[in-house]
Chain A
Amino acid sequence: DIQMTQSPSSLSASVGDRVTITCRASQSISTSLNWYQQRPGKAPRLLIYAASSLQSGVPSRFSGSGSGTDFTLTISSLQPEDFATYFCQQAYITRWAFGQGTKVEIK
């Protein structure tokens, strides 16, 4: 199975900051990588699919990049509603796997 590793596990940032989260796959997954946001007590929400495609309705301050084994989620200017946990997910092989999550907290 493919393992997904995110870094950092948590970070503190201020409103307006640029935030970058990294996700690494244990083997190449081409661009079959999705990003989700989860607020406390809520279901996950799709942000980015196919590594860099923005899901409809998601603000343009979110962007994704990468291919192969290394991927990045960037929030260009952090907003109050962005304080949440972010998960990457590989969709390259059938048994999908998530990263362990990155919690974005208020500094």
Chain B
Amino acid sequence: EVQLVESGGGLVQPGGSLKLSCAASGFTFSDHIMDWVRQAPGKGLEWIGRGRNKAKSYTTEYAASVRGRFTISRDDSKSSLYLQMNSLKVEDTAVYYCSRLYESSGYYYSDSWGQGTLVTVSA
């Protein structure tokens, strides 16, 4: 069974930093591209970034809202994805989800999601 478990959320002051983790199990993590998606309280889903696999040279992509402040990394030996968040703003308050990308006949989609971890940015 595919499992994704996020951790590392919590309360942080504006301007602070936090590192989220996503532990994967039940599949070959190194084969998959992984995403981070967030959801502010009572709001919709926002794609924030992608960490590609070795086959795609471990490249990353970011939404404009977090580019330059957030960094995605991964450790295939630990089947884990990370999100380093710096210079946090109040508007970064959200539940953060990691998701696994799956490809079928050239189409990509997020077929598995973690339960999310809450990040609260407040003074």
When the two chains form their complex, are residues B109 and A43 in contact, meaning their CB atoms are under 8 A apart?
A: no
Kindly list chain A residues whose C-beta atoms are within 8 Å of the C-beta of B109.
34, 46, 49-50, 55, 89, 91
Q: Say which residue of A31, A50, A96 sits within 8 Å of B47 (CB atoms).
A: A96
Q: Which of A82-107 contact B (CB under 8 A)?
A: 87, 89, 91, 94-101
- The docked-state distance in angstroms from the alpha carbon of A41 to that of B6 is 15
Contact-residue bracket for chain A? 20 to 34
When the two chains form their complex, are residues B97 and A43 in contact, meaning their CB atoms are under 8 A apart?
A: yes
When the two chains form their complex, are residues A99 and B47 in contact, meaning their CB atoms are under 8 A apart?
A: no
Whether, in the assembled complex, A7 has its beta carbon less than 8 Å from a beta carbon of chain B, the answer is no
Does more than half of chain B's interface fall in helix, strand or loop, or is it mixed? strand
The number of residues on chain B lying at the interface, defined by a beta carbon within 8 Å of a beta carbon of chain A, is 23
When the two chains form their complex, are residues A96 and B44 in contact, meaning their CB atoms are under 8 A apart?
A: no
Kindly list chain B residues whose C-beta atoms are within 8 Å of the C-beta of A91.
107-109
When the two chains form their complex, are residues B47 and A43 in contact, meaning their CB atoms are under 8 A apart?
A: no
- Please, which residue of chain A has its CB at the minimum distance from the CB of B114? A43
Whether, in the assembled complex, B110 has its beta carbon less than 8 Å from a beta carbon of chain A, the answer is yes
Q: Say which residue of B35, B37, B97, B107 sits within 8 Å of A32 (CB atoms).
A: B107
Contact sample, A vs B, 11 pairs, CB 8 Å cutoff: A43-B97, A44-B37, A44-B45, A44-B97, A44-B113, A46-B110, A50-B104, A89-B47, A89-B110, A91-B108, A98-B46
